[in-house]
């Protein structure tokens, strides 16, 4: 959200849409009645008419938000969430990812997305400027992001490999599809 403050300052006509809830998925939980978002909003100045917090949205709405001008994906240094893979698979125009080791395994800077220093709001804003000012590059990066996910992570293409990895680990003579879908991400991330 610190980057949102800078992006709005640079681009007076932009709107920023943030989806998802306030609960903590990774890291330290805060005291009841507070959230990281509330705490941060006390520290920064953003135009609440231009920064929209939608909370949890239906999946169709979520997919539409991925296909807007720029999608910024932030993660703390130790996590590669399925959400970055989903954004890339959805044909997201471009995925901007924090340059952390797990994210660098999937996003190749300048080829299928753009990376930035997680702790630099100005660098995040610079990367957003880059993609908004070059529509051809923006679409090329989005196309390559989707191609990368389909090539490397699509379950139908990787099913035999998934089964061969799961069989020795879990001792299953026959693997069930629903049980192993998440393993494709673990194996090739």
User: Residue holding tokens 């991330």?
Assistant: 189
Maximum Cα–Cα distance across the chain: 59
- Residue 113 DSSP label: B
Rounded distance between C-alpha atoms, residue 74 and residue 25, angstroms: 13
- Residue 105 DSSP label: T
**pLDDT value at residue 123:** 93
User: Whole-structure pTM over 0.85, yes or no?
Assistant: no
Rounded distance between C-alpha atoms, residue 65 and residue 171, angstroms: 41
**pLDDT value at residue 132:** 87
**pLDDT value at residue 58:** 92
**pLDDT value at residue 118:** 83
Tell me the pLDDT of the chain averaged across its residues: 79
**Which domains can be identified in the chain, with CATH numbers?**
2-153 (3.40.50.2000), 155-188 (no CATH)
- Residue 30 DSSP label: P
1-15: pLDDT as tens digits: 788 899 999 999 989
**146: nearest Cα among 60, 71, 54:** 71
**pLDDT value at residue 172:** 52
Q: In whole angstroms, how far apart are CA 127 and each of 5, 49, 109, 172? A: 14, 23, 11, 46
Rounded distance between C-alpha atoms, residue 135 and residue 78, angstroms: 31
The pLDDT profile of the chain, 189 residues, written as one tens digit per residue, is: 788 899 999 999 989 888 877 776 666 777 887 777 787 788 888 888 998 888 889 988 888 888 777 788 776 656 777 888 888 888 786 677 788 888 888 999 999 999 988 889 999 999 989 988 998 998 999 999 999 999 988 877 777 777 777 665 555 555 444 433 333 333 333
Rounded distance between C-alpha atoms, residue 122 and residue 6, angstroms: 7
Count of CA atoms in the C-beta half-sphere (13 A) of 59: 3
**pLDDT value at residue 188:** 36
Cβ pair 2, 121 in contact under 8 A: yes
């Amino acid at each position: 959200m610190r980057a949102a403050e800078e992006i709005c300052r640079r681009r007076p006509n932009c709107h920023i849409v943030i989806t998802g809830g306030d609960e903590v998925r990774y890291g330290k939980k805060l005291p009841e009645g507070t959230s990281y978002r509330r705490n941060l909003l006390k520290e920064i100045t953003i135009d609440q008419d231009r920064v929209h917090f939608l909370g949890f949205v239906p999946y169709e709405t979520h997919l539409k938000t991925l296909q807007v001008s720029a999608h910024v994906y932030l993660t703390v240094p130790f996590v590669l969430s399925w959400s970055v893979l989903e954004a890339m698979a959805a044909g997201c125009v471009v995925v901007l990812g924090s340059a952390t080791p797990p994210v660098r395994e999937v996003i190749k800077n300048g080829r299928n997305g753009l990376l930035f220093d997680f702790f630099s709001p100005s660098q995040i804003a610079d990367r957003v400027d880059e993609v908004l000012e070059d529509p051809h590059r923006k679409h090329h990066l989005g196309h390559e992001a989707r191609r990368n996910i389909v090539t490397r992570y699509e379950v139908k293409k990787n099913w035999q490999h998934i089964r061969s990895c799961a069989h020795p680990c879990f001792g299953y003579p026959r693997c069930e599809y629903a049980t192993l879908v998440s393993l494709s991400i673990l194996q090739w991330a």
